[in-house]
Chains A and B, each alone.
Chain A
Amino acid sequence: DQQVKQNSPSLSVQEGRISILNCDYTNSMFDYFLWYKKYPAEGPTFLISISSIKDKNEDGRFTVFLNKSAKHLSLHIVPSQPGDSAVYFCAASAYSGAGSYQLTFGKGTKLSVIP
């Protein structure tokens, strides 16, 4: 049973426009959410995160929104650039006991920004 879902496998956006990537989760114990970007042949790179006590976090062109009641978060990229083309993973963290946090990842969304 997938606890973190990214229902759009791919997304194409024109350069300069907004990219919106969505993520849904089912586990109410998740208390921290992260977005990672992954280029081919590289490991995932941390992009932006948000604590469950907040509903918005911004970092430059990237903004993450969290709607706890809907168990939904989204990543907005404005303006989108060709270099943003990558696979984006949504991840959620929960304390698993015995001094450990576990990250649960979605399947990823492949973003293509068209020049």
Chain B
Amino acid sequence: DAGVTQSPTHLIKTRGQHVTLRCSPISGHKSVSWYQQVLGQGPQFIFQYYEKEERGRGNFPDRFSARQFPNYSSELNVNALLLGDSALYLCASSLDWSAYNEQFFGPGTRLTVL
């Protein structure tokens, strides 16, 4: 079975640009969460989506937004990129919103903002 997949693997953008990151959950998983991992830090929660609805949001500015599609895949959008947005963005899927103990992570998208 395929695990969580994310695209692209790497991305380079300049300040002020917009970026869209994509995530496909494990088949049958209906919940997707996004995390930001800055170098030297642990992953930090950004969003959780379940059945196309936002269920949770971390302490991130409104420049960050996300959505979940009917096939449960998800997009993370970041507007007006800042240098500090450079990080590894991780997507995790689980069967449902309460399965916090069974989140499966993808390999991440490495975003570099110049």
Complex interface: stretch among A14-22, A41-49, A59-67, A75-83: A41-49
**Cβ of A107: which chain B residues have Cβ within 8 Å of it?**
40-42
Produce 1/0 per residue, B67-101, CB < 8 A to A: 00000000000000000000000101000011011
**Cβ of B102: which chain A residues have Cβ within 8 Å of it?**
46
**Interface residue tally of chain B, by bracket?**
20 to 34
Residue of A nearest to B53 (CB): A99
Q: Is the CB of B42 within 8 A of A105?
A: yes
In the bound complex, how far is the Cα of B113 from the Cα of A18, in angstroms? Answer: 41
**Cβ of A111: which chain B residues have Cβ within 8 Å of it?**
none
Q: Is the CB of A105 within 8 A of B50?
A: no
**Interface residue tally of chain A, by bracket?**
20 to 34
Q: Is the CB of B41 within 8 A of A100?
A: no
With A43-B107, A98-B55, A100-B55 given, is the CB distance from A106 to B97 under 8 Å? no
Q: Is the CB of A43 within 8 A of B56?
A: no
Q: Is B24 engaged at the interface, CB distance under 8 Å to the other chain?
A: no
**Cβ of B21: which chain A residues have Cβ within 8 Å of it?**
none
**Cβ of A27: which chain B residues have Cβ within 8 Å of it?**
none
Q: Is A86 engaged at the interface, CB distance under 8 Å to the other chain?
A: no
Q: Is A25 engaged at the interface, CB distance under 8 Å to the other chain?
A: no
**Cβ of A45: which chain B residues have Cβ within 8 Å of it?**
105
Q: Is B108 engaged at the interface, CB distance under 8 Å to the other chain?
A: yes
Q: Is the CB of B48 within 8 A of A100?
A: yes
Q: Is the CB of A46 within 8 A of B42?
A: no
- 4 closest A-B pairs (Cβ-Cβ)? A100-B56, A105-B42, A43-B105, A101-B100
Binding site for A on B (CB under 8 A): 4, 33, 35, 40-45, 48, 50, 55-56, 58, 90, 92, 97-98, 100-108
A and B contact pairs by CB, cutoff 8 A, 28 listed: A4-B42, A6-B42, A32-B101, A36-B105, A42-B107, A43-B90, A43-B107, A43-B108, A46-B103, A49-B101, A89-B42, A89-B43, A91-B42, A98-B55, A99-B55, A99-B97, A100-B97, A101-B56, A101-B98, A103-B43, A103-B45, A103-B100, A103-B103, A105-B43, A106-B42, A107-B42, A108-B41, A108-B42
